[in-house]
Structure 1
Amino acid sequence: MAILELRDLTKRFGETVAVDRFTLSVEKGEFVSLLGPSGCGKTTTLQMIAGFETPSGGTILLNGRDLAKVPARARGLGIVFQTYALFPHMTVEENVGFGLEMRKVPADERRRRIAQTLDLVHLSHLSGRYPRQMSGGQRQRVALARALVIEPELLLLDEPLSNLDAKLREEMQLELRRIQQEAGVTTLLVTHDQSEAMALSDRIAVMQGGRLIQEASPFDAYDRPANGFVSSFLGKSNAIPGHLEGGAAGTKLRCRELTLDGPASGETPGPVLISLRPERIEFTGEAEGIVAGRVSERIFLGDKWLFKVETGLGELLVVRRNSGRREPEVGEAVHLFWQAEHLRVLSAESAE
């Protein structure tokens, strides 16, 4: 059963449509991410759920209850903001317990729930410290504990890791997922970070221009993008314009002067955009090669190599795991191979 249902949710600011008929259901215990570039409407969507913005249209249901006339303070939601918004003059314990105190929870119950939540986020030993005495990651966990201690029906996270450095952000992704699963709280995250959404989520809702473009598991969104935008936004991708031809002998793709074997596809024959992930391409011998090329650039990224290869299909990106073996040099002639099943055929209109 869905704990949160958004039905045709819409928000206009004058003539600007920030969120356009957005529909999404979130199941109990799920971790769902709203993912998209700046200005796509994801934060506005979160603010409408939280009660900080009034929808121009549509419905928000929380456990079947219409939130249209429920003020923000009465929605029973846990919210973690990008800035954490901790009280500097309060200790960790006092910050975490503030929401309980405002709800007039009895002192004994307050102490029990604070202790339980601090244990969940592994901060029991720092309960007497002040925010200024803590690291960014620790402050983030205090903010999370303050949101969880009220036992919310829904946890809303607004870019909660964006202020952390790259290494700490990766560590906190694992910690955030652990906490969410142990608490069992239904969670909706807003982020523009693709790797963060894929690492944390059960499902991703990709947004563009205020609209929901694709809703899928992280693997399906990455491996089977709905259109060219999703393909390019979720990691690196090679986008190859072509023409799809079907026949008794199988699907064929004509790209520039080359004809490629295509995957099984339900697309109507005609102009298409072909998506091919860089890690699906292999260097191979001339006999097995699908297309020949020449390395124009290579970049060492520690755990992998990124190559740019000029081919008859245009410039292709190739990613290779760093295994210590010899890799092609800039200027070297190479041959590329991929499985036809790894080509994703998208409609030509999805190239935007």
Structure 2
Amino acid sequence: MEVEHGVGAVVSAIRAVLGDLVIFIQARLREEVPEFYVIDDPALAGTEMETVPSSLEAILQGLTDQLDVEDAVPGAMLKQARLAAQANVSLHALVRKQRVAQAAMWDAVLDAAQRAVSDDELRGAALRRISQYHFAWNDHVVAALIEEYEAEHRLFFMQRSDRKKRALVNAVLAGSPPDEQALGYPMDGRHLAVVAWGEKPEAAIRAVASRLDAKCLVVSGTDNAYFGWLRRATRSPRSDDSLASVELPSSTQIACGQYGNDVSGFRTSHRQAGLAYRVAKLGSQNVTWYRDVSLEALVLRDVPAAKEFVRQELGSLLDGSARSRTLLETIKAYYALGQNAAATGVRLKVNERTVAYRLKTVEGALGSTVLERRDEIAVALRIVAMLESQND
């Protein structure tokens, strides 16, 4: 019974620092397993926000409730294995990532045990119990990830109906000369790349192509998304951005790059659409254009780093209280209105003195004036809005 108490004390000590531990492990994975992150796939990158917290929670819950390791494999980890297979990330990188996370978690266990259990004998007994479960859990998880990865890799690259066309497209994106006849898509003219996901994404891309009277190329992507290119013969720079009249299938979203000419434009617009997709997946807008979210896309290429940046810039104003939300709303409006306190008061329906008081309160919380770090604070506010939309 004493051993269970010791284990419980260690688990509680880890839970007390769980948020910081998640950030630390995510950063360590990027540093020690860079090959996993070479392919910049937004769907795969998005799983990182779930896999580390869910794996730590699974271990802690398993220790607390004495669960069988076979009942404690998080679905988020299996999803990441499938998306890694679809993105053609190496299986070695996936397994190595799990082993690095395992080592980081064990270091955290040792530190927590030292803090939480003063009796040497009890600490040793608790650590033996934890190590047995922790290492058995990791062995089972690695086996499950390998099985999931290999099954998905076979399905995606050997059985999908568009696998040959997808291979041709990937070769063009990687820099090879295009085989226009095999693709059934000419490379001269103006190209708009899009990513669609949700209900009937392929139909959504074709609806946009019809609206623009454009030649269409569509291939399947990761996580049930579809990549599309819409080609128009004209090289006119006039805007064709009005997609308001396109009737998208219910629960379908589209991310768009910018128009580009010929093969280079084909590639560049696809990169832009992928970056817009990264941001759009956090929200619920039907259509997201790269130019509207280019800043967020740049910052969110590394979500853990973005979260740390936001935390450093906004500090205690992220506590979720009504007071902090009011202060954040005030500083956001103040920046949007050219740092005009009177105009801010009108928008927020308060007097100018109230605005001035709130700004002083913000400065006290941040330890700097709202002008000294205007750019950093403004970016942090935009990132907070995107991250919050994901949680809604």
TM-score by length of 2: 0.29
Task: Say which structure is richer in strand.
Answer: 1
TM-score by length of 1: 0.31
Q: More relative contact order in 1 or in 2 (CA 8 Å, sep 6+)?
A: 1
Task: Say which structure is richer in helix.
Answer: 2
